[in-house]
Structure 1
Amino acid sequence: MSILHRASFTVSAARLDQLPPPTTSEVAFVGRSNAGKSSAINVLANQRRLAFSSKTPGRTRLINLFGIPDPLDPGQSLGFLVDLPGYGYASVARDAREEWAEVLGGYLRQRESLAGVVLLLDIRRGVTELDRRLAHWIAPTGKPVLALLTKADKLPYGQRLKAVASVRKELAELGTLAAVPFSATHRIGLEEAAAHIENWISPKVVP
């Protein structure tokens, strides 16, 4: 069983100072509002309602942490899956957008325990201007990024490969970047994505 299947809700935070101390590895999920973050977290954790999504873009304003217990010591945590607020919510007041951007950027730049970033992109839309801005936030940290190109079931195989190549080219500034066609409903790319995330949380010992 994947260690991600053990994930459970731990805490929600509206501000960075409300987060628990940065003691174990954290993998942050980020993307445009309604890009499929909650669906991706749920399918990776093999749970239907671990992460909640809203039909109203920008409604989810909190940082939500889902802890993964250590199989050898259930009282200890191996790490966390972190659901960050979505971005690109045009209907939300400007001051609220700026506040969330500050929280989002602050977490990505300052969180010492951040092990990797899962960036969700709609495979049909490609990299948007807001995605590029996010990449500018992430790039200076040097953290590895896994781009999940969601809704991959909407495109034939050949177009998926072209979309992956395009994302890698457009986000080359990120350095360590993996791009995977992904579909929560059709479970496309699930094993590959889970392997990346598991290794960030609990790196495999290579002899």
Structure 2
Amino acid sequence: MSILHRASFTISAARLDQLPPPSTAEVCFVGRSNAGKSSAINVLTNQRRLAFSSKTPGRTRLINLFGIPDPVEPGAHLGFLVDLPGYGYASVAREARDEWADVLGGYLRDRTSLAGIVMLIDIRRGVTDLDRRLADWVAPSGRPVLALLTKADKLPYGQRVRAVAAVRKALADIGTLDALPFSATQRIGLEEATHHIENWISPQVVP
């Protein structure tokens, strides 16, 4: 069983100063609203509603931490999955969007326990201007990025391959980048994505 399957809700925070002090490895999930972030977290953890979307896209403003328990030390965590607010939904007021940008940027730049970033990109849209803005926050940090090209089941295999190549090219300046076609409904890319995330959290558990 994947260690990700043991994830459980730990805490929500509206601001960075409400997060617990950095300790063990964190892997964050970030993407524009409607990119399939909640679905990805749920299928990776093999849980139906660990993460859930607001009925109004773009309204979820909290940072949610899901802890993965340490099997050896009771009460301790191997690491955390971090669900960051979605970004870029047009109906949200500019002031709120800017506030989100500050929270997202601050977390991605300054969180010392951040071990890796999972960036959700709708495979049919490719890298949007908002995704590019996110990449500009990420690139200076040097942290590794896994781009999950969600809703890959909507495209035939050949188009998926071309879409992955296009994302790799568009985000080449990030440095340590991998990109995978991914589908929560058809479980495309699930094994590869799980391996990446487990290795960021606890390298010793992954062969």
Same fold (TM over 0.5): yes
Q: Given the superposition, is the C-alpha separation of residues 205 and 67 from structure 1 closer, same or farther in structure 2, using an over 3 Å criterion? A: closer
Aligned partner of 1:117: which letter? I
Q: Given the superposition, is the C-alpha separation of residues 61 and 124 from structure 1 closer, same or farther in structure 2, using an over 3 Å criterion? A: same
Whether the 8 Å CA contact 1:34–1:54 is kept in 2: the answer is no
Give the C-alpha shift of residue 52 in structure 1. Answer: 1.0
Which structure 2 residues correspond to residues 1-207 of structure 1 after superposition, within 5 A? 1-204=1-204
Provide the rounded CA distance (Å) in 2 between the counterparts of 1:204 and 1:188: 25
Cα deviation code 1:39-94 (max 9, x no counterpart): 00000000001001123121110000000001222421001000001111110111
Which of structure 1's runs of 4+ aligned residues deviate more than 2 A? 204-207
Provide the rounded CA distance (Å) in 2 between the counterparts of 1:186 and 1:72: 34
For structure 1, the 5+ residue unaligned runs are none
The count of corresponding residues between Structure 1 and Structure 2 is: 207
> What RMSD, in angstroms, separates the aligned Cα atoms of the two structures?
1.3
Provide the rounded CA distance (Å) in 1 between the counterparts of 2:97 and 2:27: 23
Provide the rounded CA distance (Å) in 2 between the counterparts of 1:197 and 1:11: 20
Give the C-alpha shift of residue 205 in structure 1. Answer: 7.6
Provide the rounded CA distance (Å) in 2 between the counterparts of 1:8 and 1:190: 19
The percentage of counterpart residues that share the same residue type is: 84
Provide the rounded CA distance (Å) in 2 between the counterparts of 1:189 and 1:204: 22
Aligned partner of 2:70: which letter? D
Structure 1 length normalisation: TM-score? 0.98
Provide the rounded CA distance (Å) in 2 between the counterparts of 1:54 and 1:132: 24
Provide the rounded CA distance (Å) in 1 between the counterparts of 2:60 and 2:28: 15
Provide the rounded CA distance (Å) in 2 between the counterparts of 1:71 and 1:43: 22
- More deviation, 113-122/53-62: 53-62
Whether the 8 Å CA contact 2:143–2:176 is kept in 1: the answer is yes
Cα deviation code 1:94-129 (max 9, x no counterpart): 111111110000000000000000000000000000
Aligned partner of 1:79: which letter? G
Aligned partner of 2:17: which letter? D
For structure 2, the 5+ residue unaligned runs are none
SS of equivalent residue, structure 2 residue 203 = coil
Aligned partner of 1:171: which letter? L
Q: Given the superposition, is the C-alpha separation of residues 74 and 136 from structure 1 closer, same or farther in structure 2, using an over 3 Å criterion? A: same
Give the C-alpha shift of residue 9 in structure 1. Answer: 0.2
SS of equivalent residue, structure 1 residue 29 = strand
